[in-house]
């Protein structure tokens, strides 16, 4: 006899942490909703126009290999 498992057996929204980052740069805020936040667009608007290496300013928080470059 086949047995099916419900994908949502109990309500969990109050403690849910199931956001997903999509391949096109959006946070899908809930697996059961179409709400998304376009973080790629937000990042582009916040991006600096250039580096400041000539002023001696460099990143200290992460090495280049840690950010994928």
User: Quick one: pLDDT band at residue 11, thresholds 50, 70, 90?
Assistant: low
pLDDT at residue number 12: 67
In a domain, 55, yes or no: no
In a domain, 28, yes or no: yes
pTM, two decimal places: 0.49
In a domain, 6, yes or no: no
pLDDT at residue number 10: 67
- Total domains present in the chain: 1
In a domain, 39, yes or no: yes
Q: What is the domain range of residue 39?
A: 18-46
Per residue in 25-66, pLDDT (tens digit) is 898 888 888 989 999 888 888 887 888 788 887 777 777 787
- Which segments of 2-54 does DSSP mark as H helices, in order? 39-46
In a domain, 31, yes or no: yes
Q: Which of 28, 6, 11 is nearest to 19 (CA)?
A: 28
Total residue count of the chain as it appears in this document:
69
- How far apart, in whole angstroms, are the C-alpha atoms of residue 22 and residue 40? 10
């Amino acid at each position: 006899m086949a047995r099916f498992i419900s994908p949502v057996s109990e309500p969990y929204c109050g403690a849910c942490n199931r956001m997903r980052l999509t391949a096109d740069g959006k946070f899908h805020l809930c697996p059961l909703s179409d709400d998304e936040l376009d973080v790629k667009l937000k990042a582009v608007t916040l991006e600096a126009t250039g580096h400041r290496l000539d002023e001696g300013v460099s990143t200290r928080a992460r090495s280049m290999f840690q950010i994928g470059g």
